[in-house]
Structure 1
Amino acid sequence: MRQQPKVEAQGGKAARVLYKPWGIVGSIVAALIARQVFTVVWTKVVPVDSEDPPKPLESEYSLGQVVLAATIQGAIFAVVKALFQRASARGFQRWTGEWPGD
């Protein structure tokens, strides 16, 4: 038997407005953490002289290397951002009693 997903209660407009600064700080922290995670993952995936991933306008890298770096970076940033947004929304809900989304 499949368990039904838990649906969060919708918050009011005030909750969404109050959550904005909370969400901005969470996004900044998430981006900093995602950058560090990506750096570690990138150095493990492609052991090269430079820790920096290839940028699209750096001609010494192939298109495949640039696309691989962008794909890994995008996936890591999306996952870390989603985790932080969800965790910060739950923390906000515990603090205020209102869900900030929807």
Structure 2
Amino acid sequence: MSRIVSRGAGVVSGMLGGAVAGVVFKQVWKLLAGTDEAPQATSDEYGWGEVLAAAAIQGAIFGVVKAAIDRSATRSVHRAIGG
């Protein structure tokens, strides 16, 4: 039973983490670049540096937010079910 609860919490925390990371990245990019939209890899109007910098920042934010939410969810589930 605890395995099912843990997996369910993992799915929910993954979706929540992705949504939170997206919002955080948009705000960080707006502060750093002064624009609302980050450069897309397929866009011709941005250079390699801008595209790769945006991807690196987005990846770092996603990784940190996902780890924090996953860790928090796992600890909460363990406390709740005594595992």
TM-score, normalised to structure 2's length? 0.94
Which residue does 1:65 correspond to in 2?
50
Question: Equivalent of 1:41, from 28, 34, 39?
Answer: 28
Structure 2: tracts of 5 or more residues without a match? none
More helix, by proportion: 2
Q: How many residues align?
A: 83
Amino acid at match of 1:64: G
> Structure 1 vs Structure 2: percent identity of aligned residues?
35
Q: Secondary structure at the match of 1:59?
A: coil
Q: What RMSD in Å do the two structures reach over aligned CA positions?
A: 1.0
Which residue does 2:62 correspond to in 1?
77
Structure 1: tracts of 5 or more residues without a match? 1-13
Distance 1:15 1:22 in 2: 10
Distance 1:80 1:16 in 2: 23
Distance 1:15 1:43 in 2: 41
Larger Rg: 1
How do 1:1-102 residues align onto structure 2 when only pairs under 5 Å count?
A: 14-48=1-35, 51-98=36-83
TM-score, normalised to structure 1's length? 0.77
Structure 1 residue 16, shift from structure 2 partner: 3.0
